[in-house]
Amino acid sequence: MSGEPADDGRLRRGAALMASGTAVSRLLGLLRSMVLFAAIGATGQAADAFAVANKLPNVMYMLLVGGVLNAVLVPQVVRAYKTAKGQQYVDRLLTFGFVALAGLTLVLTLAAPLLVRLYADAASQAQMDLAVTFAYWCVPQVFFYGVYALLGQVLNARSSFGPYMWAPVVNNVVSIIGFVAFIVAFGAVPESGLTHASAWGSSQVLLLAGSATAGVMAQALVLFPALRAAGVRYRPRWGLRGYGLGRAGAVATWTLVGLAVGQLGYVIVSRVVSQAPGAADGAKDVASNAAYDAAFLIFMLPHSLVTVSLATAMFTRLAEQAHDRDTRAVRASLSYGLRVVGVFTVLAAAVIAVLAIPVTRLILPSATSATTAAVAQVVIAMIVGLPAFGAWSICQRVYFAYEDTRSMVPVQVVMAVVVVAGSLLSRVLLPATAWVVGVGLSMSLSYLVGAVVALRHLHQRLHGVDGGRVLRLHLRATLAAVVAIVVGLVLLLGTEAVLPGGLVTALLECVLVGSVMGLVYVALLRALRVRELDDLLRPILPRLSRIGPLRPLVRLLAPSGRAGRHADDDVQSPPSAGREPRRATSSPHYPLTPWAAWPDSSAPELPEPTPPGAAPLAPELPAPRRAPRTHRSRPHYPPGHPLYRPSSPELWPGADDESTDGPDTHGGPV
């Protein structure tokens, strides 16, 4: 089955809720970064020292905790809540996780000097000492990041998506308050004189690094009330023996192997980046760790708004489908995710590439023109890989749903080799001022290679990934994006010739050029009949229509044509008078109310759901007669539906446990 999954409405609502929280969080995150860069700058010894230290908890968390939680926790919790003692199991899992995180954080904090020297190779000893001091305050964030992830994944498994994505808002608010207090107390760069590491004292370190850690602490603690609201009554319980964690341990082990491979590559990248200022022969405003972080922040903004939100909402459903061995449903979810994410990421990459300098100027309001240009070059190098990064992220969720992290390791090895080779070649072939740009291009190439390799493997496992349909979507989206880029560049050059420079001009350029590019892109996708655009816009348009001045824009963006039809409908349409019946292009997709076939040509179209309080779009019509079901017309109901049955009849209640969709068929654990 390659059509849109039947419970896509729930998926879109969950993704929309998370996207709204992520949008607010990312906007506040941009403000947080602006305040931070105003306080310590985007280049210089102090900025690079804090960038290394504050990055350590994120790196250590992803290496030792984050991937394990994604791969293990959600599938385990989904299964646990299907049993009578599910809550006891979750309590024991959380208790074990909290204790393990506390011990791990203590060890990593004591090892802070070693970690700094592993990830940085600065020419100044004062800069290295300052980075170590920052690290003692920042590394404890590992514990709170872990608590946030543990509680958030339990909430996601309970289909409570909002709190997990809204909690970072608290983090950003606390950090902004602390960074503003830093500027009030000590001034902003360059007037403060805090660009050089030797100018820093204990009070400056405490206020800056302490504010960053306090924000992460608040982000974790606000999830405890949300846990109770979701019906989870956590009680500390000890012991996990006899709860079937043997398989989870194997999954965690292979996850750690894959992450370790990726981090070995990142160690080389980080060291190459940190060496750039010392090798630049006295050149100023050389992109290094802080510039890399600023560029990566811009790169991650569109990814976090849509890709992460949709992938997180998909993951619980994917875990259920994989557990039920419903290969067709997994294949449909993968195809749907790749196509909808592709529609957005192609546009986002085009807009940010055109507006790299204005966007960077907004993020770094106090930066010089040379610093802005240096960071913007890194942004462009990274952003070209955004569509591939989105596809790779969706593929990862499929591996995690099957708890098959072992099959991801070869993909991660290939990606790490591409990044390391590209970074080392950049160091040899490019001037030091362009080393970070070479690193960004290497990352983009690694995402493309990783997505292609992963999809080839998943094609074998799932008996196809709907590749032709996904490829056609990306080709049409790329064509529309190229036209939008040309229009955007012409408009950007015109505004720069008319308007003076500054923050206000940069903001106007982003709003004007970005809006025009978006409208051109949408219009071309409409002309190219890209129906996945409707799925992307459907959760947004009803909210925008409530704003009076935006209603003409909503009418312009609203899907045209038949109501209630989703992206590339696979349901066979009733024949119209005087023409041949439409042929389905792939396996049929069945909504929650199965319409296997229409008895005659007068059968109605399905109306689009009516928003609350609005007049119905069409009168209700009696349900048509349904043709006898065959093995190809059997409807697919989502797990949890009263009429749900696994895709293989052998798995229906009372049947044998063997299935043609089992692990032996696909070569890997399910």
Q: Tens of pLDDT along 464-523? A: 888 899 999 999 999 999 999 999 999 999 998 888 878 889 999 999 999 999 999 999
User: Beta-carbon neighbour count of residue 109 at 10 Å?
Assistant: 18
Query: N- to C-terminal Cα distance for the chain?
Result: 19
Residues 78-93: pLDDT tens digits? Answer: 666 666 667 777 788 7
68 versus 639: the higher-pLDDT residue is 68
Question: What does the block give as tokens for 627?
Answer: 């043709």
According to the model, what pLDDT value does residue 544 have?
Answer: 64
Instruction: Give the DSSP H/E element, type plus range, for residue 456.
Output: helix 435-461
C-alpha Rg value of the chain to the nearest Å: 26
Mean pLDDT over 249-263 rounds to 70
Select from 362, 194, 219, 198 the least CA-distant residue to 294: 362
Backbone angles phi, psi at 209, to 5 degrees: -70, -35
pLDDT category at 70 given cuts 50, 70, 90 is low
252 versus 655: the higher-pLDDT residue is 252
583 versus 458: the higher-pLDDT residue is 458
According to the model, what pLDDT value does residue 391 have?
Answer: 93
User: Is the confidence at residue 99, as pLDDT, over 60?
Assistant: yes
User: Is the confidence at residue 670, as pLDDT, over 60?
Assistant: no
Q: Is the peptide bond before 500 cis (omega within 30 degrees of 0)?
A: no
Q: What's the CA gap between 201 and 133, in Å, rounded?
A: 10
User: Is the confidence at residue 656, as pLDDT, over 90?
Assistant: no
pLDDT category at 9 given cuts 50, 70, 90 is low
Mean pLDDT over 276-283 rounds to 72
The mean pLDDT value of the chain amounts to 76
Question: What does the block give as tokens for 669?
Answer: 């654990």
Query: Is the CB of residue 364 less than 8 Å from the CB of residue 423?
Result: no
- Indicate the burial class of 239 (C-beta count within 10 angstroms; 0-12, 13-18, 19 or more): exposed
User: Is the confidence at residue 422, as pLDDT, over 80?
Assistant: yes
According to the model, what pLDDT value does residue 475 have?
Answer: 94
Instruction: Name the most confidently modeled range: 25-29, 499-503, 511-515, 651-655.
Output: 511-515
- Contacts with 129 (C-beta within 8 Å, 6 or more apart), sequence order: 197
Instruction: Name the most confidently modeled range: 73-77, 287-291, 477-481.
Output: 477-481
What proportion of the chain, given as a percentage, has pLDDT over 70? Answer: 70
User: Is the confidence at residue 248, as pLDDT, over 70?
Assistant: no
Question: What does the block give as tokens for 258?
Answer: 């894959």
Mean pLDDT over 130-142 rounds to 93
What proportion of the chain, given as a percentage, has pLDDT over 90? Answer: 27
Mean pLDDT over 281-288 rounds to 70
Judged by average pLDDT, the poorest of 114-128, 303-317, 610-624 is 610-624
Total H helices, total E strands in the chain: 26, 0
User: Is the confidence at residue 311, as pLDDT, over 60?
Assistant: yes
Residues 151-168: pLDDT tens digits? Answer: 887 887 777 777 887 888
